[in-house]
Amino acid sequence: MKKLIGLALIVTTLLVSCEKEKDNQRQQDDNFHFTYKANGTQKAYTGYIGAHLDTTNGFVELTVLGAPAATSFDNYLGFYLSNDDGKGSIGTGQFLDTQTNYTLLSTYAVSAVEYEAGQSVAMDAVTDNVTITNHFKVNITSMDKTTIRGTFSGDYFVDGSAKNGAKLTITDGDFYLKFL
């Protein structure tokens, strides 16, 4: 489950990479962005940013991704949100890794090291009796048929293991993206 987000982000990247290149100039013109701070250092992705929403038989999956380029498989940040049971909706509102009516996962890859956050990390931390100081959360502030805007933050752990102690904190995450 922990590697699911990485796989989902890579598959989504491959599926939309052709479309993304022609939309890249429009994204820049419309102030689309994907920014955050990693342990206090400001980061911004402008080369490849976007969101994908898939709805099938009541199941909704949202993937948000920022990377330097469509081929950046070891330098990206993204998150995956799904209403697993098909009962809830995904729209504006706050989504927390401690809630169980949907799946929320995130991966931050930098220099071939993957840091993970989200529901599976939070559940493992409870099992391992480890306290997560800043649980991963996403706040979607606006969403329509063409764009999504929101914020995100939380503690990320190497290979998704809170018990190993290797942590990175993402703060001030902010995105305004076009659906691809």
Q: And the tokens for 137? A: 């959360």
Domain that holds residue 75: 4-178
- Residue 56: partners with Cβ closer than 8 Å, 6 or more residues away: none
Look at the chain and count its residues: 180
Task: Write the pLDDT tens digit of every residue in 106-160.
Answer: 999 998 899 999 999 999 999 999 999 999 999 999 999 999 999 999 999 999 9
Half-sphere exposure of 160 (CA within 13 A, CB side): 17
Our separate counts of H helices and E strands in the chain read 2, 11
Q: And the tokens for 148? A: 């999504």
Domain count of the chain?
Answer: 1
Neighbours of 40 (CB within 10 A): 8
pTM of the model: 0.84
